[in-house]
């Protein structure tokens, strides 16, 4: 009997170790939703599944502080973006209301939507969480496990871009002269202090005066050096001098703020492409790092920087 118990425990532990962490998907309302409507019309149904039982929902959605659960697709064939829903799922009836066309919608399993009275707090291990981030449907607070601690975000940033470091009012061509040549085995990183929550699409990188179509990708890390999002690892060519070129993540990432992040670039350095970097005496009040022994096409852990190093922290923005 003990042997059977031990084997069962080993199986459970193994399952727990290989679970895939689930992140939300995002869409918008394709049409307005009235106070008494029992259907929702989504712009996209990516991440949405019908429920076999009303009491065991598979998919929850969160819009304008109202939490709803998906039941079935309106189309008998099960296709299309109009879904039947159960409302007043948050336990706070006053949150039920009408929603305008174009309103932002979170999509995820019910476990992603916390109905408890308190926000997440204390220490945490990101790899142990089934769902990240976690949304408290009672107050709309979004919490994420960043750098070993739960961080609860506030508001939503209206800024189109968050620059790091701020380029100021100078012309881009005056920053770091012609730029700094990048190596193929170095990960170049800059500290980003996000003031409030923001749904991120990717990272922009400020090129120097020389571009040679090098392949490049970007990675977003948390304060502890855990990778959170990245663009395609095959890389994207750098093609225009002295502009911020954008690199979209493979999927959008909801970043909780205020919090510290690091935006990094990896380049295959097949040519002599340059990137404008923060230098001493200009923007040396941020943390930067050139992490060596990096392998192109592989996202490894970052040993988070603890100081400023000149000419290794790229001028970037998150958007």
**Residues forming CATH 2.60.120 domain(s) in the chain:** 162-318
Structure confidence at residue 199 (pLDDT)? 95
What's the pLDDT score for residue 32?
Answer: 97
pLDDT for res 48? 97
Res 4: pLDDT:
35
CA distance 119 to 99: 25
Sign of CA dihedral 91, 94, 98, 100: negative
Distance of CA 169 to the CA centre of its chain: 29
Domain 162-318 class, CATH top level: mainly beta
Q: How many CB atoms lie within 10 A of CB 4?
A: 8
Q: Please, which residues have CB within 8 angstroms of residue 208's CB and are 6 or more apart in sequence? A: 176, 178, 179, 180, 241, 242, 273, 274, 275, 276
pLDDT score of 169: 81
Burial of 36 (0-12, 13-18, 19+ CB in 10 A): exposed
End-to-end CA distance of the chain: 57
- Report the pLDDT value the prediction gives residue 158, as an integer from 0 to 100: 67
Q: Tell me, what's the pLDDT at 92?
A: 64
The pLDDT of residue 12 is 32
Low-confidence ranges of the chain (pLDDT < 70): 1-20, 89-94, 157-158
């Amino acid at each position: 009997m003990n042997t059977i118990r031990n084997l069962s425990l080993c199986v459970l532990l193994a399952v727990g170790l290989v679970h895939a962490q689930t992140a939300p998907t995002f869409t918008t309302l394709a049409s307005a939703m009235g106070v008494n409507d029992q259907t929702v019309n989504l712009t996209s149904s990516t991440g949405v599944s019908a429920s076999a039982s009303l009491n065991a929902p598979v998919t929850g959605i969160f819009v304008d502080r109202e939490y709803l659960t998906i039941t079935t697709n309106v189309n008998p064939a099960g296709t299309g973006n109009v879904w039947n829903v159960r409302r007043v799922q948050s336990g706070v009836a006053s949150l039920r209301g009408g929603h305008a066309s174009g309103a932002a919608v979170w999509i995820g399993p019910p476990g992603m939507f916390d109905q408890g009275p308190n926000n997440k707090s204390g220490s945490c291990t990101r790899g142990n969480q089934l769902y990240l981030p976690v949304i408290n449907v009672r107050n709309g607070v979004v919490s994420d496990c960043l750098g070993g601690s739960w961080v609860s975000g506030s508001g939503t940033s209206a800024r189109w871009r968050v620059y790091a470091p701020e380029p100021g009012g100078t012309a881009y061509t005056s920053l770091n002269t012609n730029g700094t040549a990048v190596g193929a085995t170095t990960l170049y990183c800059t500290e980003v202090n996000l003031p409030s929550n923001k749904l991120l699409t990717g990272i922009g990188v400020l090129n120097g005066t020389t571009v040679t179509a090098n392949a490049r990708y970007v990675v977003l890390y948390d304060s502890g050096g855990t990778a959170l999002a990245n663009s395609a690892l095959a890389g994207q060519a750098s093609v225009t001098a002295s502009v911020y070129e954008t690199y979209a993540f493979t999927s959008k990432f909801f970043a909780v703020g205020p919090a510290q992040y690091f935006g990094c670039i990896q380049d295959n350095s097949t040519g002599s492409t340059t990137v404008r970097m923060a230098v001493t005496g200009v923007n040396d009040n941020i943390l930067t790092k050139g992490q060596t022994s990096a392998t192109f096409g592989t996202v490894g852990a970052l040993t988070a920087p603890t100081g400023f190093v000149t000419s290794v922290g790229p001028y970037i923005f998150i958007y």
